[in-house]
Amino acid sequence: MADLLIPDDSVMQKLGEVFNRDMVEFALQKTYSFAKLMSYYRCAMMEIETKFNVLNEEFSLMFDRQPINSIKTRLKNPISIREKLIRRGYEMSVESIEEHINDVAGIRVICSFLDDVYMLAEALKKQDDIEVITEKDYIKKPKANGYRSLHLIVSVPIFLQQEKRVMKAEIQLRTIAMDSWASLEHQLHYKKDNDFDTLMEAELKYCADLSAELDARMDLLRTEVYQGRQGEETTGIDILQAVAGKFTDSDID
Ligand code: 0O2
């Protein structure tokens, strides 16, 4: 066990008076292994965050605009990890966390425009040290409640002093509108323990549809501004076509 985790003698003595010494050492060993694993996940988040910052920098240099509005990272807390393992019928151990939980490391990339979400996802997927494990496109196929976001579960190598480890992480890419809907919906769910009633669900879905329309309109506007379309007014038909173009029939099975 790493020296820095062994408490000094007086603490060990006090713990030993209450608990069996083997038990104390066992608990310390487990705590250390857990802390080490969490630190690896933190490294994976740093690697991925840097990759997105590099893409943002390159894009800003080439096109004089930044596709990323902000990046948030979070490490899943031990209580949520435990709940998820129990819910899925797995034991609570360091090995089990690594094997069964894909979203201990979470990176949320908030993009300026809808097209940026896909541009950034494609740019990341092309990198030869990134392996995509699963992809869920809740933008093309929103969840029933209206939730939209592009989710990638990826693996990324981290390089330690003595070894290379491949860690999993969940990346959520979404626009500002998608993010504000998701965080407000999350807050409302948090406030209301029970499920929403039908009217509330319909209202939430309506707000999600409005946010989807906002994204489509902003994307159209961006295209016009950056492609220099001048002198022509944006018509309602343009906007409807833009919205329809984002979600073709083939996307909806
Ligand atoms: P937290 O606190 O954000 O970590 P998986 O986790 O991938 O094994 P699942 O549930 O199929 O299993 O994953 P999915 O559908 O990709 O969703 C994972 C995450 O997306 C959630 O994490 C949320 O962050 C977000 N999410 C999914 N659906 C919704 C939704 O309806 N509303 C909001 N606001 N967020 C959503 P966690 O673990 O639930 O929570």
- Which residue in 153, 46, 53 sits closest to 103, CA to CA? 153
**pLDDT for position 106:** 98
Distance between CA 87 and CA 99 in Å, rounded? 15
Cα separations (Å) of 143 from 44, 55, 116, 133, 205? 28, 29, 21, 20, 10
pLDDT top residue among 5 and 56: 56
| Mean pLDDT of all residues in 54-78 | 93
Does 137 sit in the ligand 1 pocket, CB within 6 Å? no
Q: At what angle do helices 21-63 and 114-125 cross, to 10 degrees?
A: 120
Q: Give pTM, 2 decimals.
A: 0.83
pLDDT top residue among 63 and 4: 63
CA dihedral 22→25→26→32, nearest 10 degrees, is: 180
Q: Which atom of ligand 1 is nearest to the CA of 106?
A: 4
Q: How far is the CA of 197 from the centre of ligand 1 (A)?
A: 21
What the block records as the tokens of 24 is 């104390």
pLDDT top residue among 52 and 191: 52
Does 136 sit in the ligand 1 pocket, CB within 6 Å? yes
Does 100 sit in the ligand 1 pocket, CB within 6 Å? no
Most confident by average pLDDT, 65-79, 176-190, 234-248: 65-79
Distance between CA 139 and CA 178 in Å, rounded? 9
Q: How far is the CA of 149 from the centre of ligand 1 (A)?
A: 10
Q: Helical H runs in 19-148?
A: 21-63, 78-87, 94-100, 114-125
Contact by Cβ (8 Å): 167, 159: no
**Closest Cα to atom 31 of ligand 1:** 147
Distance between CA 195 and CA 144 in Å, rounded? 14
**pLDDT for position 252:** 41
pLDDT top residue among 252 and 153: 153
User: With 90 as the cut, is the pLDDT of residue 176 above it?
Assistant: yes
Does 77 sit in the ligand 1 pocket, CB within 6 Å? no
Instruction: Name residues whose C-beta falls within 8 Å of residue 177's C-beta, 6 or more positions apart in sequence.
Output: 211, 212, 214, 215, 218
What the block records as the tokens of 23 is 């038990």
Q: DSSP string spanning 195-206?
A: PPPHHHHHHHHH
**pLDDT for position 226:** 77
**Closest Cα to atom 17 of ligand 1:** 151
* Ranges 48-57, 130-139, 223-232: which has the least confidence: 223-232
Q: Which atom of ligand 1 is nearest to the CA of 170?
A: 7
Does 182 sit in the ligand 1 pocket, CB within 6 Å? yes
Residue 153's Cβ-count burial label (10 Å; 0-12, 13-18, 19+) is middle
* Substitution candidate for ligand 1 out of 88, 103, 149, 152 with most atoms within 8 A of CB: 103
User: With 80 as the cut, is the pLDDT of residue 19 above it?
Assistant: no
Helix (H, G, I), strand (E, B) or coil at 229: coil
Distance between CA 14 and CA 19 in Å, rounded? 9
pLDDT digits (tens, 9 = 90+) for 102-123: 999 999 999 989 999 999 999 9
Does 187 sit in the ligand 1 pocket, CB within 6 Å? no
> In this structure, what are the phi and psi dihedrals at residue 69, rounded to the nearest 5 degrees?
-85, -45
Does 186 sit in the ligand 1 pocket, CB within 6 Å? yes
pLDDT digits (tens, 9 = 90+) for 134-167: 999 999 999 999 999 999 999 999 999 999 999 9
User: With 80 as the cut, is the pLDDT of residue 87 above it?
Assistant: yes
**pLDDT for position 23:** 75
> In this structure, what are the phi and psi dihedrals at residue 124, rounded to the nearest 5 degrees?
-70, -45
**pLDDT for position 35:** 94
**pLDDT for position 48:** 98
Does 143 sit in the ligand 1 pocket, CB within 6 Å? yes
* Ranges 44-48, 169-173, 182-186, 229-233: which has the least confidence: 229-233
